[in-house]
Chain A
């Protein structure tokens, strides 16, 4: 193994360990925030007839009357063995159900990001490169995408494509593994609604940084050497402009994950956001903890991936 590869592995390992420490802290804080609600959670489980005695008895039965740190340590020990516990209410294994719901949301978010990258690069680069009317049109589209809320776009698309034209389902989700065509139809409107806002931000970012890059001295030098414009734009300028765009993309990803709830509710999609919302309302502690852990790890992995891709695209941005 070369020294460079070893250093890279060490860097990745360091980042992952930092991520685990972060996950530890966030889950501990979450558990400490939940602890004062244990009485209410048990009362909710017992229903309208709950009395102080029955709440006490149920807390003992569920082990919620033990010291908070002891409970958290137990949870952590189980997590270390790959066991995230079971839902207080349905008894389903948390690892399985969180994965199931996360898969639904990820299938929407990843397709949105993929399309967002493809369209934003095409539009942003063209606007920066061509300028003039093309640039003004792209800026106008980008601004409109910024201004119009996702929800409004979703409502308009549902009305047009589902209710008026009967082309796509208005609600629901079909897993990719069940029927790829039905899956594509079920995510078409949610993806489009998310895509417009995502593209608006990313296109503006790429356009701006591309204009900056194209004005730099090295571009002029390359031109004087007779390098084709196409190569200058795509091979040199775009590579240098990719860093800030990737950062915006990682923010978009995290924002989409956090904001998935609204789209999931509007389209009745059983995703991560609505699962987290329902678990919070019920006070389903094992599920809330599992969701928190998954969310933190996901953000850590995405940020790491963005740094690595950034380094791969642009040597100047390499951390090693």
Chain B
């Protein structure tokens, strides 16, 4: 066996390498990026999301960023508009009985699935029952409330309730309100290619599952005029630097970025739309009875914890101003929010130490808290603030995929989490249902229970508002939590596209974007 530059084998090897190099060189000089044609920017929305959707099967969809896709593929019974108001959608009308134990929904006429089959009450009943009866992330909200679903005629759905619920209608505007084609929903393909009646269909030829989803508008959709984009491309980009590059190169015309990345994008002429409150960073003081950490059973200790944080400085340092210092869990644009409550716990270490001493913990105490990848950046400042009043924190690393089970197991008496600023009704349920990751020690209180019952049975918006404000005040007065700040999101949009809404609604939907002149 021999080899030389003159041998055919080596010549072939070098030839292959040269061809590849030339191909690249030609490509480099060939020019032309994949940027959308400027003339199409108003009809094509190219949007980035951070993580790939797990599944589009109705029992498995989630309310996160994958909502941009599934809300476009499915109609939901109701809809939350950009001002945070509940609106009719596939259900043209909805009405509660006097005792609020029966909800009657009247469907719109003439809706069809992308398969051509009609959308009727039987399809709504089938999907709702499927969600209620299938273990999964969307089951609890429906299973806890819905006793029966009837379809007396093609356009009427009658939902019998186990008890009045303030959050049901809002849930029917989200993951619990989707309508899937009953003839196809059980197929395995539903997870990646569902049949819905939404304003868009998935263009399978231009979709790479887990990385890029292309949606084509259904011109026959009953509400087609509300969707200005003919094509929606949703690209999964886990890296924020990639989002910035793609926005600057014109490969995306909508995406969210870190506040620190805004300046170059602004200089490049892109539109910046900060929404100051989208999620809340919350130290959950979960063991309110002090069963595993005795000091937390004393409200003075919980109040002292609330007073140990300089929230204004936190917002400035961590969020570069795209956030709101807050002691409340509720959306500042919502009904439950009360600006006065933000004054309840001013930053005052001396006063906090005094409270600790009054409670008998002048020397402080030690606590173990779970460390998730999402909480890492906040951990030093949390530990430092708590150390100032004598609380020594030890962090235990927990993989993020174990967050729900770890927290629900009541292993940690206090922990820091970041959750979305959903509607008042949904947040109330989220933070009070016992045995869940947000209430693992099953805290309850007669006053709170009465307020929740009042909210659930309120017939008029004013009654509901008073109840939710009462619930908010209860949380703050009793220091069930130590919310640190509302965390904002900075939207960047390209020419011809604008982000709508001001944070009044945190529902994630393609209708968050519109065309701009």
Q: Which residues of A contact B (CB under 8 A)?
A: 37, 39-41, 43-51, 54-55, 57-58, 61, 86, 89-92, 97, 111, 114-115, 117-119, 155, 158, 161-163, 166-172, 174, 181-182, 184-186, 188, 191-192, 230-231, 234-235, 238-239, 265-268, 270, 274-275, 278, 281-283, 312-313, 315
Contacts and interface: CB of A to CB of B under 8 A. Distances in A.
B28 interface: yes
A246 to B, nearest CB: 13
B106 interface: no
Interface of B: 1-5, 13-14, 16-18, 20-21, 23-24, 26-35, 48, 51-52, 54-55, 60, 62, 135-141, 188-189, 191-192, 208-212, 235-239, 241-242, 245-246, 248-249, 251, 399-402, 404-406, 408, 430, 433, 435-438
Contact of A266 (B24, B141, B212, B242): B242
A39 B408 CA distance: 12
Please give me the 9 A-B residue pairs with the lowest Cβ-Cβ distance, nearest first: A47-B137, A49-B140, A118-B17, A270-B211, A43-B405, A235-B4, A184-B27, A40-B402, A170-B249
A99 B286 CA distance: 46
Contacts of A181: 27, 30
A115 to B, nearest CB: 6
A47 B437 CA distance: 10
A268 B35 contact: no
Given A171-B237, A185-B27, A235 B3 contact: yes
B5 A230 contact: yes
Contacts of B13: 117
Contacts of B210: 90, 97, 270, 275, 278
Contacts of A270: 208, 210-212, 236
Contacts, number: 207
A266 B241 CA distance: 7
B17 A114 contact: yes
Contacts of B212: 172, 270
A97 B211 CA distance: 12
Nearest to B419: A48
Contacts of A192: 24
A89 B191 contact: yes
Contacts of B62: 47
A278 B246 contact: no
Contacts of A315: 1
Contact of A185 (B30, B141, B238, B245): B30
A265 B238 contact: yes
B20 A51 contact: no
Contacts of B1: 312-313, 315
B180 to A, nearest CB: 15
A268 B192 contact: no
A265 B33 CA distance: 19
B435 A51 contact: yes
B135 to A, nearest CB: 5
A313 B10 CA distance: 10
Residue among A172, A186, A315 with the highest chain B CB neighbour number at 10 A: A172
A163 B55 contact: no
28 contacts: A37-B402, A48-B408, A48-B436, A49-B140, A51-B408, A91-B189, A111-B24, A117-B13, A118-B14, A158-B245, A162-B33, A162-B245, A166-B33, A166-B35, A169-B251, A170-B246, A171-B242, A172-B251, A184-B27, A185-B33, A188-B27, A191-B24, A192-B24, A234-B4, A239-B2, A239-B3, A266-B241, A312-B1
A188 B137 contact: no
A46 B436 CA distance: 12
Contacts of A174: 34
A6 B311 CA distance: 76
B27 A268 contact: no
Residue among A44, A90, A114, A312 with the highest chain B CB neighbour number at 10 A: A90
A192 B450 CA distance: 65
A48 B191 CA distance: 20
B135 A57 contact: yes
B246 A268 contact: yes
A200 B138 CA distance: 52
Contacts of B242: 170-171, 265-268
B66 to A, nearest CB: 11
A118 B22 CA distance: 12
Contacts of A118: 14, 17-18, 20-21
A131 B400 CA distance: 55
Nearest to B54: A89
Contacts of B235: 171-172, 268
B135 A46 contact: yes
A238 B192 CA distance: 52
B252 to A, nearest CB: 8
